[in-house]
Structure formats: structure tokens, C-alpha cells
Amino acid sequence: MAFRPSLSFQALFRLPKRPVRTSSTALQPRFPQARFASQHPFPHGTPRGRPQYNRFSRSQSIKYLWQTNMAFRYGAGAVGTGFVGFVGYNIETVPASGRRRFNWVSPEYEQQMGQQRYRQIIQEYQGEFLPEWHIASRMVQRVLKRLISANGIENQDWEVHVIDDPSQMNAFVIPGGKVFVFSGLLPICDGDDGLAAVLGHEIAHNVAHHSAENYSRLSLAIPIAYLASFIYDISGNLTFMIMDYAYNKPGSRKQESEADFIGLMMMAQSCYNPEAALGLWQRMEKAGGSAVPQFMSTHPSNYNRIAKIQQWLPQAQEKRAASECGGTIQYADEFKKAFQSREEDFW
């Protein structure tokens, strides 16, 4: 005998009949239209399409794991201990200034990076280099040779390249002793003493291994920024911007001030007049025009640079007097002043 469901069973599983749409009004919702509300019965989406409630944020989830999972605590503790140990092991002191810093990059690896950068620059400015016999190239070579010999840094393969670009007032030194000077900087230098201030500053970056420090700082900042972005569930751009203004730019400004100090001592040791550095940055401030605020820049403001150099000048003068050329400095300065006064009287 076949099974026949009872009427109540059929009524229980009977599907409702689809309503017949007789006019376009049947397509309109059967809800009164509010005056200032959305016409949709569910303005923020249907109940089925509502966002799911998230019980824990990512940081709360990590906190919950820390409180309840012993293996997670042991793992996080091991990673944190290893990180602190790695940073502490690679803390060193810059000999010339006594500043403490984090640096794990070896001088050999720094030079390898410098060679790669050197090839890129040579290719970028191909055809724009002044020849070695040019008066500008000879001037840079003369000042550089004196700085190198007086400070005992002949252990690198120093090379000079002057880029013929009068619009650029810049110079830089790549790890490995590759010196680049734009021709537009030479009029601002106003002679060998001013150029010695520039080259001393750039050589100081090389001697203090600032390129290696920058690479080490970035290798530390990038993982921290990614980790903060993951834990607090915020934009990676925001964390990188915070790290840039709170960590990278202040570190770069410290390097620039350190290079100013070391370069000033180097030019004094080389019998150049350290007061020329003061005049150089005063002329740079006039030529530079308006600048961004210091906290937004990788370099100190010219005003702060001038103030620092004024503080360091007595120490630089003492170093100059104690150098091998100390006995002839007074006669040379008197001769220069006398020659300038005779020249002014002549004109």
C-alpha cells in the first residue's frame, strides 16, 4: 500500500503560490514612503546582507592568545628576545663623534652597494662629466688630495667626477671613495676653503659609514611598520609615514650634523680656514630661498647648521693651530689680509 501523506502533512510542506503581478504597481514595495528616509525598506541593506559582527579586533585577538596560549607566549618571547639581542649586538659607537647607533652592515657589503650605485650614476650622467684637465676638476682634485693626505684616509680608491650642470648646487661621495661635484656648487664655495667645507662634509659621510647605517635603519624600520600595520589593522601607508617622521628623518638629520662636525675638523686638520664653512652655509641659505620645515626634511635647516658651526668653531680653530701647519697659519692669514687690502686700495 503506497504511502499517502495526510492533509496536514501536505499543508505543512505546501509552497506558497507566487503572486501574479497585474500591473506595474505590484513592483513597488508595500511600505509607506518616509519623507526624509530612503525608499528601500532596509536602508543599510537587507538583513541577510548586513556585515557580520566581529567580536575581537586583531590586537585583541593577539592579546587573547597571549593570555590563554602558553605556546604563543613562548614563541613571541623567543622572537622578541632574538630581536633585542640582534639589535644590542649590532650597537656601535661612531669614533669621530661618539654617537651610538645600530649598524649590522659590514664595510665590504657597503662598498659592494657603492659600486653598484657608482655604475648607475656613471651611466646616468654619461657625456656630462668635465675632463680631468678642466680648471674645475683640477680645483676639486687639489682640495680632495689635501684633505685625504692630512687626515690619513688614503686607504680607498678616491676618484673625482665634476658634473657640468650650473643649475645644481650639490655634491656627494659614494662608498668606495667616488666623489661627485656639480659645477653649480663651485661659485657658492667661493674658493678652496669653501670647497674644503663641502668635501669634508661629504667625505665624513663616507668615513662614518652613513650609507651602511641607513641600510640598517631601513631594515629595522620596514618590519616594524609592517608588524604595527598588521596588529592594529591600520593602513600600511600610515605606519610608514609615522616611522618616516619619527625615526628615519631624525636619524638622517643626526647624520648630517655629524658630517658637519667631522668635516669641520677634517678641514681644520688640513690647514683650511674653518670659518669658511660658516660663510658657505650663509651663502647657501641666501641662494636656497624658502625651505620646508626641519621636521619634514632629512637635513637640518641652514639656520641650525650655522648655529652649530658657530659652537664648534673654537674647537676647530684649536685643531687647526695644533696641526702641522699651525706655525705658518698666522703668517698666511696676515699675508692674505694684506694682499686683500692692497688689492682694494689699487681698485
Neighbours of 253 (CB within 10 A): 18
Strand order in 171-174's β-sheet?
Answer: 159-163, 178-182, 171-174
Of 170, 164, 168, nearest in space to 199 by CA: 170
**Radius of gyration of the chain, Cα coordinates, nearest whole angstrom:** 35
92, 110, 202, 343: the catalytic one is: 202
- Angle, alpha carbons 134-137-129 (nearest 5°): 85
Q: What is the rounded CA–CA span in Å between residue 145 and residue 143?
A: 6
Q: Is 254 exposed, middle or buried (0-12, 13-18, 19+ CB in 10 A)?
A: middle
Cα-based angle 71, 75, 76 (whole degrees, multiple of 5)? 115
Grid cell listed for 322: 695644533
CA 32 to chain centre: 61
CA-CA-CA-CA dihedral for 167, 171, 174, 178, to nearest 10: 90
Distance separating alpha carbons of residues 73 and 62, to the nearest angstrom? 10
C-alpha 115/C-alpha 34 separation (Å) is: 72
Is residue 256 part of the annotated active site? The answer reads no
Tell me the catalytic residues. 202
